Structure 1
Amino acid sequence: MVDGGGRRFVNESLNYNDAGRALAQLPGLRPDGAVAWLIFDSSYRKRYHIGTIRRDAPDPEWLVSVSSLEEMEFELGIPGGQLEETVVEFNRDVARGVDTRFQRGQSAYDRFVGDPTSPNPSLGEVVAPPYYALPVLPGCLGTKGGPVTDEDGRVLSEGTPVPGLYAVGNTAANPLGTAYPGAGGTIGPHLVFGRRAGRAAGEKWSLTMFLHRPNRVGD
């Protein structure tokens, strides 16, 4: 994956949270155009499903396909020679089995999601035309910007609980800050803090408080 200048900027095997954060930090980020490109060759195209594109399906019209890296640079508006330089460097690392720039394939996570190949389960050469490119854009998975709460899910205003107001899960501020640990990562906090909030609310706001209210005129 390369930026608009044809240079790699991240370990492409990272989870989507960390890879997305790297993408969001690219200069020139904008919602109306591609800020990065996923580059791959015909060997990769035949071997893997790519997003919604099945490996045995025809190439969709929006998939960039060219016969050379030089042509790819022209199509994507990348400075001449930069993409070729990046691919040469990448292929050199593939042959050695070591990503010298971003250590792709060295972490336990990378090895788990990689292929059973050696010397590096997460690296493969980009050498077989035609070459392909997909625009990569940041997307929104959920929100993490809700109100701050205490350990019982009570919403805090300047450090003081707001009477009767509780929030848990994605409606509350994320205890992990700007991070998202992975698929299902909010389920645990939902269960734990939902239970705590329910207990706290039950102890504070018993049903008898509402059942034994004096009748109002006209009730």
Structure 2
Amino acid sequence: MAIAIVDYGMGNLHSVSKAVERLGYEVLITSVESEILAADGVILPGVGAFGDAMAQLRESSLDAVVQKVAEGNQPLLGICLGMQLLFSTSEEHGNHEGLGILPGSVVRFAGGAYKVPHMGWNKLEYIEEGSPLFTGLAEGYVYFVHSYHVLPEVKTDLIATTDYGHPVTAIVGRGSVFGMQFHPEKSGELGMNLLRNFLKFTGDSVK
């Protein structure tokens, strides 16, 4: 089997796929439902605006496919905008409904004492140290680029934060569903190791 990267026309497909391949796993970039549902694990990438991404997902019926992945307990990882799409709503350029896999909202940074977008290296603080994503990993720095951040409704869904004027959601997780606000493939050794731990969680074997 392989790790499926969902291709809905908006995402850092190349950098994510190359990172997964560097870690020794087979990658399938696909928009085909049967291929996504048959994969050992699924990655939902994303770059751009929330509303545009949801429109693309709905137009291709991939919104329902990703929801099936989550309901069927396939390991699912949302990256950057892909993490935000897992939640209920976003206020980015209007009010938009998300995938609703995790309850919560996406809101803009208030700004003021700190610059928007939040861009650069910031340290993770593990909230749920028992998460399989953190196995063998110390807290460290990863690379963020975002103007909006997630406010999860369920406290236990928040498994790592970073500080940017206030605690900011960095990683979420519930069961087999995970999300990273930063780009693990652009976050040095720690980012790659977090991605590696997700891939191990899928049960897929290294090539």
Q: TM-score range by the shorter chain?
A: under 0.3
TM-score by length of 1: 0.24
TM-score by length of 2: 0.25
In terms of Rg, which structure is larger? 1
* Structure with more of its chain in strand, by fraction: 2
